[in-house]
Amino acid sequence: MAEQVYYEDVNVGDEIPKLVKNCTTQQLVMWATGSGDMYPIHYDKDFAASSGLPGIIVHGALKNAFLGQMLHDWVGEKGQIKTYGCQYRGMDVPNEDIICRAVVTNKAQDGGLNLVELDIWTEKACGEKTSPGKATVVLPSR
């Protein structure tokens, strides 16, 4: 795990360490059973094609969970995720990079909590943002 990040060390405009993922179809099946989302567009290419899709697509909620992993690893054991979420604007497919990124957009102390707001998103290797969203995390103070 990375070193603990503190509120004082974070500035608006900072980018946090990115997380690069690349899903095999096996990972999608693991996710399907782990999350309870057994909808066949994520493992049955004939079903996906008959649904008007280009082929098997990565679960949106898995991309959301990847963003959650990036945030969890960044806030460290003394930090907390308060809210995070994203929209699924573009489809991702197996065996292509899904790059999770985040930039700090605001800092505020509220109710004794050190809150940091971020724009979060996944993007493809070509730079297309497929899952834009926002997060608010709580960081410890030095």
Q: With CA atoms as reference, report the closest residue to 21 among 73, 88, 67, 87.
A: 67
Interface with another protein, residue 27, by CB under 8 A = yes
Count the residues of the shown chain that bind another protein, applying the rule CB under 8 A: 40
- Classified as helix, coil or strand, 127 is coil
Interface with another protein, residue 109, by CB under 8 A = no
Give the other-Cβ count within 10 Å of 61's Cβ.
Answer: 15
Out of 87, 93, 105, 124, the residue judged to bind another protein by CB under 8 A: 87
Q: What is the crossing angle of helices 60-75 and 25-35, to 10°?
A: 80
Out of 6, 25, 61, 97, the residue judged to bind another protein by CB under 8 A: 61
The contact set with another protein (CB under 8 A) reads 1, 21, 27, 30-31, 33-39, 41, 51-52, 59-62, 64-69, 71-73, 77, 80-88, 133, 138
